Amino acid sequence: MFVSGRAADDVEALRRRLAADPHIEIVDRLELAEAMISPPSPARRQEPLIEALTAREHDVLALVADGLPNREIAQALGISEHTVKFHLASIFGKLGVSTRTEAVQRGLRLGVIEI
């Protein structure tokens, strides 16, 4: 790959970051790898970086991706519907989205969930 100027500096900084810290979250690695291939568009630059989801948030998001409503998610996980809503609010904040559909799309794109 050939890059010059500022882009070359950015790519090198990303390579150093990946090599230096083996504890970088998988999502950060994916975003950094994507940035190394092509610089993000202006719209992508404004997306917040994902904060790691808890195990329970991951479970909730996976069930949302399966199309389950809050009531059925609560039953499947043995928690209250209120707790499901609490987890969804946290997921939305961490993913920088405002709807269930956006959360699933972003989760899929970032490799947080699979369908």
Expressed in angstroms, the distance from the first to the final Cα of the chain is 33
Angle between helices 100-109 and 55-65 (to 10 degrees): 110
Residue 114 falls inside a structural domain: no
Residues 11-23: tens digit of each pLDDT: 666 566 656 555 5
pTM, full prediction: 0.58
Say how many domains are in the chain: 2
Do 77 and 59 meet the contact criterion of CB atoms below 8 Å apart? yes
What's the pLDDT score for residue 20? Answer: 56
Question: Looking at the structure, do residues 35 and 59 belong to the same domain, yes or no?
Answer: no
pLDDT in tens, 34-86: 544 544 444 444 455 567 899 999 999 999 999 999 999 999 999 999 999 99
According to DSSP, residue 78 is labeled T
| Domain containing residue 61 | 55-109
